[in-house]
Amino acid sequence: MKTILKNTLFLSLLSAASISFAQLPELSTPTTATGTETTAVFLGGATADNGATYANSFAFDAPIDIDLEIQVEAGHVNTVGNIYVIIVWEGSYFVLDENGAYQLWDLSVENFLAAFPGKTLQSSEPINIVNDVAFGPAGVSDTTMDFIIAYDTMAVANEFFYNGIPLSVTIEEEVEEEPPVAQSLQIFTDSISGPIIQGNCIACHTGSGAAGSSALLYATISLPSFLQVNYTTLVDYINQGNSATLLSKPTGGSGHGGGVRLQASSTDFQNLEAFVNAVLAE
Ligand code: HEC
């Protein structure tokens, strides 16, 4: 997964000079390595709508931009320094090197690679991390990445300036879409199974009932899968060309051995018709 992160996501880089961002949220707690106060400002955000809104959590497949910006201390403008991008991800630290690749970082100063080394610092240093990247399909999901940006300057020895609270970006896990329920199954579940099959027809239409030799035998609710079994029985019966028989017998037509079981004007009969039509349409 980490290889994927390195290879896929972050090849896109990074023209620090030419970009500017509209209304990046300010990141709290500007911090220095020695604990000295700083007036540097750190901004950053992740957005799925090109900066109209910023969020911390995104759907698996949402293409997002992640942008960061450092506003260096006034006294550091036009001094030479380095800009660093750090990602904390699943317990590991990565630093962005000047070639745009993320390197695992052991937190040592000698391996602290700058993304923009030896740079004349401007009052605003925008850093685009990714543009329109959908992390989930790239193999990064159900996870949170924390972004820290830092700089140092030759004007102040042995000091780093950074956002003390990282920018946190969560990529949610993939949500399996529920397959749509067939309309006929919905009607059967809501209006046929209980009132018509279990409440009426099943009095005769079981293996041991008066209609035991007919083609329509239903499972009682003692069978856990009765609903699915009876649905399949009726769908098969209808698809074998028996829809006219199914609608005529219960109203007493076609010499139904069980006589009139449903009034043609009843809601139950209308539901049975709607069910037959839904099966035929599917
Ligand atoms: C009182 C008993 C009884 C009840 C209740 C009953 N039936 Fe029947 N049904 C029969 C008998 C007996 C047969 C077999 C003779 C025939 O085909 O009419 C039959 C056959 C059928 C058939 C023809 C099946 C085939 O073999 O093709 C259909 C359709 C049917 N019934 C529908 C219904 C429906 C729908 C209900 C419930 C609303 C229902 N029946 C309730 C007794 C009943």
Name the residue of 249, 251, 268 whose CB sits within 8 Å of the most ligand 1 atoms, as the mutation to test its pocket.
249
263 CA → ligand 1 middle, Å = 14
What are φ and ψ of residue 191, in 5° steps? -130, -10
Looking from the CA of residue 248, the nearest atom of ligand 1 is 29
C-alpha 87/C-alpha 30 separation (Å) is: 17
Looking from the CA of residue 255, the nearest atom of ligand 1 is 18
Residue matched to tokens 């290889």: 3
Q: What is the model's pLDDT at position 176?
A: 82
pLDDT in tens, the chain (282 residues): 444 444 444 444 443 434 555 689 999 999 999 999 999 999 999 999 999 999 999 999 999 999 999 999 999 999 999 999 999 999 999 999 999 999 999 999 899 999 999 999 999 999 999 999 999 998 999 999 999 999 999 999 999 999 999 999 999 999 887 778 889 999 999 999 999 999 999 999 999 999 999 999 999 999 999 999 999 999 999 999 999 999 999 999 889 999 999 999 999 999 999 999 999 999
Q: What is the model's pLDDT at position 254?
A: 82
Q: What is the model's pLDDT at position 181?
A: 82
Name the residue of 191, 197, 204, 270 whose CB sits within 8 Å of the most ligand 1 atoms, as the mutation to test its pocket.
204
The amino acid at 212: G
**Which positions ≥6 away from 77 have C-beta within 8 Å?**
121, 122, 123
181 CA → ligand 1 middle, Å = 28
What residue ranges line ligand 1, CB within 6 angstroms? 196, 200-201, 203-205, 210-211, 214-216, 242, 245-246, 249-250, 255-258, 261-262
260 CA → ligand 1 middle, Å = 9
Looking from the CA of residue 203, the nearest atom of ligand 1 is 5
Between the alpha carbon of residue 27 and those of residues 30, 41, 188, 223, the distances in Å are 8, 8, 55, 60
Residue closest by Cα to atom 30 of ligand 1: 249
Reported for 21-24, long-range contacts at CB under 8 A and 24+ positions apart, including other chains, are 21/51, 21/67, 21/69, 21/126, 22/51, 23/51, 24/51, 24/54, 24/67, 24/68, 24/69
